[in-house]
Structure 1
Amino acid sequence: METLTSSRFRLGLWVGLILLGLGLSVGQWALAQSDANRSAVVLTIDGAIGPATMDYVVRGIEQAELDEAAVVVLRMDTPGGLMDSMRTIIKSILASEVPVVTWVTPAGARAASAGTYILYGSHVAAMSPATNLGSATPVQMGGMPGSSEPAENDGDGSSSGEEGEAGDSEPSSEGSTAMERKVMEDAVSYIRELAERHGRNADWAERAVREAVNLGASEALEQNVIDVVADDLDDLLAQINGRQVVMANGERTLDTANLAIVRQQPDWRTDLLSVITDPNVAYFLMIIGFYGIIFELANPGSLYPGVIGAICLVLALFAFQVLSVNYAGLALILLGLAFIVGEAFAPSFGMLGVGGIVAFVLGSVILMDGSHRDISLPTVGGTAAVAGGFILWTVTRFMGLRGKPSAVGVEHVSDTRCRALDDFKQDGDLYRGHVQLGGERWNAISKEPITNGQWLKAEHVDGLTVEVSPGAEPSLAHQVGQSTQTRSGQQ
């Protein structure tokens, strides 16, 4: 009995030890898996900020939240961009459940204009050595009141905008119109709130908006404009480890040690949006779409111009919807294209065409004027030159046709060569028979006797009867053509 009890005790002890070992192993494995799943998601902003950039960043932050990433790092190098896209990005950052670190890198990069706002709106603001930020003065877009974007930094500390094309004028802190003052004060209030939320220098942020000032990385760190100056990504994650940041639901301490780096590059959707929303591409899509629809209406059933034109026009309208455009310029472009097409269908000897080119060029110039995302003048000039060549060809073609005899109708019959199909029979003072004229069999009369096969000249038409007279025999080539027509008529 004692032996049985002892055996059971030893068995239970061994089972307990095995279960304890398994539990420790599973715990260590789960802990290791948890550490392995902790990641830093790296997104890249390189170039002007627009709808494509906005879509890429917002989707990247949402995916990082689903993956429960530890931190999102925005690698940024931008000259600025559209105000609407910038604000959407900042809203996504402020509402994010994952801390967002904006890092201006590599050396030589900048966070100008809209980039400065995004840097101030991020939970951690970082820069690499030899980078700069600033020039956050808003400018009007294409003359549309209430639609603005931060000014583009030209790289020399100046702001390009409505003050001048070269950007060498000092920006006014007050603005010259009521609308400009509204936009300015709105931008100042916005960037100060972002600065105060994260405990950064709000006074310098206001100067960046009103005076378009700039700072380098080391000066920005000294003046509490940014939080960190980091040489590389490992250095950045090491410096921000343990830092407290303000999230939407309160403060949080960052734990960025031993993170796996996950780089999310722009996908095909972002690349497609970048291409479509380029002003020059959208401009060409609109022109192709307009002409495609016109050609389809002029030749119903050809299908290809209509299908291609409709697709291009819809894509162009989408691009113009997300871009800030001057609708007066868009209307002038469409009016100019309509005049150019009208010249071909209702020739006015150049009046419609010249007016169309003038309207087209003026509309193209002011379509996105006042921003760094305008349409290049060589593109406008080249398109206008092609349209001008088309109009010149159309006008000269119509002028040449005016001197030619009619190719259809009764007028076409006069002085046309034909051939007798039988011997004409006398009927009073006239001779009657039949002729082959233009591939058709006609009743014919003549004042002289006519024999079968004789070459004749048509004088004029009276109803369905043509009056003919003997004519010289045509050249060999003309005879071949007439014989071909005769055979076709007989068939």
Structure 2
Amino acid sequence: QVHDIVARVLAGRGIGIDEAPGFLAPSLRDLTPDPSVLTDMDRAAERIADAVRDTEVPVYAFVNRRAFSAGALIALATDRVYMLPGSVIGAATPVGGTGEKAPEKIVSAMRSEMRALAEEHGLDPRVAEAMVDEEIEIEGVIERGKLLTLTTAEAEALGYAEQVESWDALVVAVGGSATTPVQDVQTNWAEKLVRVLTHPAVAPFLLSIGFLGLLVEIKTPGLGLGGAAGFLALSLFFGSHLILGLAGWEDMLVFGLGVVLLAVEAFVLPGFGIFGVLGLGGVAAGLYMSMLGSFPTTADLAQATGVLGASVIMMVVTGWALLRRIPTSGRLARRGILLETETDRSLGYISAAVRADLIGREGVADTDLRPTGAGLFGDERIDVVSETGWIPRGGRIRVVQSQGYRHVVRGITE
């Protein structure tokens, strides 16, 4: 089976002009029997086609029996197409993961790609379009309502291919000889690692470890194991998707902006407000987009949703169990970011209830109000929320509302 990583293999791996026949390796031909049934092959084919067009090394396509869908696109991107007798090429309509025809947006993009390749090689672009869209009619070639697939003889008559009798005949046709060595390009260890890291069963673990590591680092600050593990896991997630061509720098920028907004909400302007909502949205959008390409299919969207959902579930369950067992950093408690004090009844604390008698009472803030905290009214300590934003500890306050468990106070400035 051909994986997305083949796009990078064909982009050039240090293969010089003398080793060009290696691009025609039989093993590569055997690995692409019918790309139309493989997930993401249309997107992978686009990257392979771009790599073939950009290379300075002459590249030729050898159609051994059939080149459907993505195979047709890649073949047209090469300098010349050679076909064995009895072979066929065409039927390049994009399909979804379940075999249904792709949405018109994706079909239109594929149609334009095929037309551009045909024009680039001086061929009739209508023939290439008819391989994608059954609505294209060409007199004497294909009628409306049928998808175009060409035999070797038909492709040769239209200038789309040249017939060769064998592999050895192809090598001779492109300037080689029967003794020309063939180089088999193999997937290296780095490409295999990227394949593992982007697998739907592995990606959720990377995301979970990344965020849990950062949470542990926030709760127990200092450059430690939690922060290092979180940074490494997120780097592996984004790096692998970036190499594979799914993620872009804009996705990482959106994710980073979301993290910054969450930090502002947590450390600069506490209280779950607009920065927190925008931050969560940015983080989720960055992660989601990093798992999609330019033209995601329904299967791509479902897979990305599944990975993100599994990550959230793992983070909630593991985070709840883990953070309960990690002591709060004294440094954060002293800064008022995390509270260590227990509001036990034996220590004089009472739960907030309907207290109409509190309205109008004056007291002092017993903690910094950010905007929530505790107020001291005589010898009674009550949980309160500031109506006017941040109030420092010791500031004078007055109760202006008491609604159930919510006691609203206002700072006294006079």
- What TM-score bracket applies, with the shorter chain setting the length? 0.5 to 0.7
Tell me, in whole angstroms, the C-alpha distance in 1 between the residues paired with 2:53 and 2:127: 19
Residue 63 (1) aligns with residue 15 (2): yes
Matched residue SS, 2:161? coil
Structure-to-structure mapping, 1:15-414, within 5 angstroms: 46-49=1-4, 52-60=5-13, 62-65=14-17, 67=19, 72-73=24-25, 74-75=28-29, 77=32, 78=35, 79-82=41-44, 83-84=46-47, 86-92=49-55, 95-96=56-57, 99-104=58-63, 110-113=67-70, 115-126=71-82, 133-135=90-92, 151=94, 159-161=101-103, 171=107, 187=113, 190-196=116-122, 202-208=125-131, 213=147, 215=149, 218=152, 220=155, 223-228=158-163, 236-243=166-173, 254-276=175-197, 285-301=206-222, 303-322=224-243, 323-325=245-247, 331=254, 335=258, 368=292, 370-372=295-297, 373-374=300-301, 375-389=303-317, 405=344, 411=347
> Which structure's residues are more often strand, by fraction?
1
Give the CA RMSD over aligned residues.
5.4
SS at 1:125 equivalent: strand
Distance 2:342 2:125 in 1: 78
Partner Cα separation in structure 1 for residue 23 and residue 322 of structure 2? 63
Deviation digits for residues 321-350 of structure 1, max 9, x if unmatched? 45355857984798499879x89xx9989x
The alpha-carbon deviation at position 292 of structure 1 amounts to 2.3
Q: Tell me, in whole angstroms, the C-alpha distance in 2 between the residues paired with 1:135 and 1:269.
A: 31
Check conservation: 2:254, 2:283, Cα contact below 8 A.
no
Aligned equivalent of 1:23: none
Q: How does 1:455-466 map to 2 (within 5 A)?
A: none
Deviation at 1:211, TM superposition (A): 5.4
Task: Please say if residues 335 and 356 of structure 1, whose CA atoms lie closer than 8 Å, have aligned partners that are also in contact.
Answer: yes
**Sequence identity (%):** 17
Asked if 2 retains the 8 angstrom alpha-carbon contact of 1:195 and 1:205, the reply is no
Distance (Å, rounded) in 1 between the aligned partners of 2:313 and 2:305: 12
Query: Cα distance, 1:56 vs. partner?
Result: 1.6
With over 3 angstroms needed to count, the CA separation of the structure-2 counterparts of 1:338 and 1:265, relative to structure 1, is same
Q: TM-score, normalised by structure 1?
A: 0.46
Amino acid at match of 1:215: T
Question: Where does residue 476 of structure 1 map in the other structure?
Answer: none
Q: CA deviation at 1:119?
A: 0.7
Instruction: Find the aligned partners of 2:62 and 2:98 in 1 and give their Cα distance.
Output: 19
Contact kept, 8 Å, 1:285 with 1:315, in 2: the verdict is yes
Worse overlay, 289-298 or 63-72: 63-72
TM-score, length-normalised on structure 2?
0.52
What is the SS of the residue equivalent to 1:262?
coil
Counterpart CA distance in 2 for 1:364 and 1:274 is 18
CA contact (8 A) 2:197 2:203 kept: yes
Please, which runs of 5 or more residues in structure 2 have no aligned partner? 36-40, 136-146, 326-339, 349-414
Gaps of 5+ in 1: 1-45, 137-150, 173-179, 230-234, 244-252, 413-491
Deviation at 1:371, TM superposition (A): 1.3
Aligned length: 304
Please say if residues 192 and 206 of structure 1, whose CA atoms lie closer than 8 Å, have aligned partners that are also in contact.
Answer: no
Name which one, 1 or 2, has greater alpha-carbon Rg.
1
Q: Is 1:242–1:255's contact at 8 Å kept on the other side of the alignment?
A: yes
| Paired residue secondary structure (1:63) | coil
